[in-house]
Amino acid sequence: MEKEEIPNQGSRRNFIKKTAFACAAFPFLTRGMASEANFTKSLKKSTITMAFSEKSIIGTYGQWAAGISNDPPQLSFRNTKWTTLEPWKKKAFEMANELVSEPDIQRISEVEVHKKYVYDGLEVEELSWQLSNGGPRTEAILLRPEGVKGKLPAVLGLHDHGGNKYFGKRKITRVSDDLHPLIEAHQKEYYQDRAWANEIAKKGYVVLVHDTFTFGSRRVKYGDVEGILWGECAVSEKTDQNPEKSKNIVIYNDWAGHHEHIMAKSLFSSGTTWPGVTLAEDRAALDVLCECADVDAENIGCAGLSGGGLRTVYLGGMDHRIRCAVCVGFMTTWRDFILHKSFTHTWMAYAPLLPKFLEFPEILGLRVPLPVMIQNNNQDSLYTLPEMKKADIILKEVYDKAGAADKYRAKFYEGEHKFDLKMQSDAFAWFDTWLK
């Protein structure tokens, strides 16, 4: 994937020189007949014209699109009109709820325990439950330290997207020495060869990891699709047989990636959004975790990399049963999506009209003063570093204004898109600080 070019100081200086030169060439200036006001007005007009000619992922419409919403947006806590936390929070939360448009999705079955066993010092339970929005049962893995008695703090582990929708919970857990080769490769690339959900469970947490909407057990199967008559999403020559073969998984993941735009359009047409559906399913899993007899429901956190970081933004921001959140590898601004990076991201990210009211990091900021840690990678090609830095400034300002500066932490690490051992160690320590 090619990195987006970010203008440097030199290019900005060249832009200013070119703009000034264009203005100096106006006929009314050479005739000496313009007032200072007219000169300023013409300079501004020329600058706008030049700015709108800059390239972006949506061509020369980029700067116009990036300027539609105010900075800060209408319901940003950074606006001077908001002087106290609770009135702002009530108004912003109401608007976020309306625009995310979370559907009413209920668990309509008991939680079924399919297997219990011990692996690598952990008690493991394989669970499932049925949700009211159709599709197969949600499958999940519950992990707890072997032999530990009494109530423990808990973490809802949110698996990533990674362009890999065939797998869900298996991407961040390990319940057998026999790993699928694609899972083994995935954990090596993104988690430094570690199942991070297992590792935090060993540190004294109950951990639940579930397949969310369109992943793993919740994925869309070819045999359930009809009516797509042509194009890359047609299923006439595809089969659900032998799904665990690596070749078939690669084919499925390619198909599922193309199918995302169809799913997103259908969800918008039904009056909901993809983040709304995912939020509802993640809340249902949080219900399951809270109901566990050995879980201290007052001390539950959530964390995830990439798509899991995205899920942390919405769940951590909008469900305050999450007492501590760690968002890994998914933090930037709406401007970054508009101009540079929407093509690198899933439809799971977008709630139409929400950017008019909250900056992207301020969705997670709805949880203030509850603690949050953001982990970024300096060479992460899914975002531009200046906009990641701007998101950090925005959240820091929100937490400072709320008098909760100690509850916010952002870290920047060298490297590409990942949640490596150092980052995991820092995240686990953050959970220990606030949940134990």
For 17-42, give the DSSP string. Answer: HHHHHHHHT-HHHHTT---HHHHHHH
Same domain, 64 and 127: no
Q: What's the domain count of the chain?
A: 2
**Percent of the chain residues topping a pLDDT of 70:** 88
Angle at 172 between CA 204 and CA 336, to 5 degrees: 110
Tell me the one-letter amino acid at 33.
M
* 8 Å CB contact between 99 and 153: no
Does any domain span residue 293?
Answer: yes
Same domain, 288 and 139: yes
pLDDT at site 53: 61
pLDDT at site 24: 30
Does any domain span residue 98?
Answer: no
Same domain, 64 and 117: no
Same domain, 301 and 363: yes
Same domain, 229 and 346: yes
* Residue scoring higher pLDDT (2 or 59): 59
Per-residue pLDDT at 29 exceeds 60: no
Same domain, 151 and 50: no
SS3 (DSSP) at 352? coil
| Alpha carbon distance 331, 64 (integer Å) | 23
pLDDT band of residue 52 (cuts 50, 70, 90) is low
Per-residue pLDDT at 3 exceeds 80: no
Same domain, 194 and 336: yes
Same domain, 128 and 45: no
Does any domain span residue 82?
Answer: no
| Alpha carbon distance 436, 406 (integer Å) | 17
pLDDT at site 54: 86
Same domain, 170 and 61: no
In this structure, what CATH number is given to the domain that contains residue 252?
3.40.50.1820
Residue among 132, 138, 137, 135 nearest 104 (CA): 132
- Number of Cβ within 10 Å of residue 381's Cβ equals 14
Same domain, 145 and 55: no
Read off the pLDDT of each residue in 34-59 and give the average, rounded to a whole number.
Answer: 55
Angle between helices 85-100 and 307-318 (to 10 degrees): 130
Tell me the pLDDT tens digit for each residue of 160-199: 999 999 999 999 999 999 999 999 999 999 999 999 999 9
Does any domain span residue 399?
Answer: yes
* 8 Å CB contact between 285 and 131: no
* 8 Å CB contact between 153 and 435: yes
Tell me the pLDDT tens digit for each residue of 228-262: 999 999 999 999 999 999 999 999 999 999 999 99
Same domain, 64 and 123: no
> The whole model's pTM is what?
0.88
Same domain, 55 and 156: no
**C-alpha pair distances (Å), 140 with each of 82, 110, 288, 300:** 42, 13, 10, 17
Does any domain span residue 101?
Answer: no
CB burial readout 131-145, b (16+ within 10 A) else e? bebebbbbbbbbbbb
* 8 Å CB contact between 345 and 353: no
The domain containing residue 43 runs over which residues? Answer: 36-68
Does any domain span residue 310?
Answer: yes
Read off the pLDDT of each residue in 364-373 and give the average, rounded to a whole number.
Answer: 98
pLDDT at site 391: 98
Q: Which residue has the tokens 């942390």?
A: 312
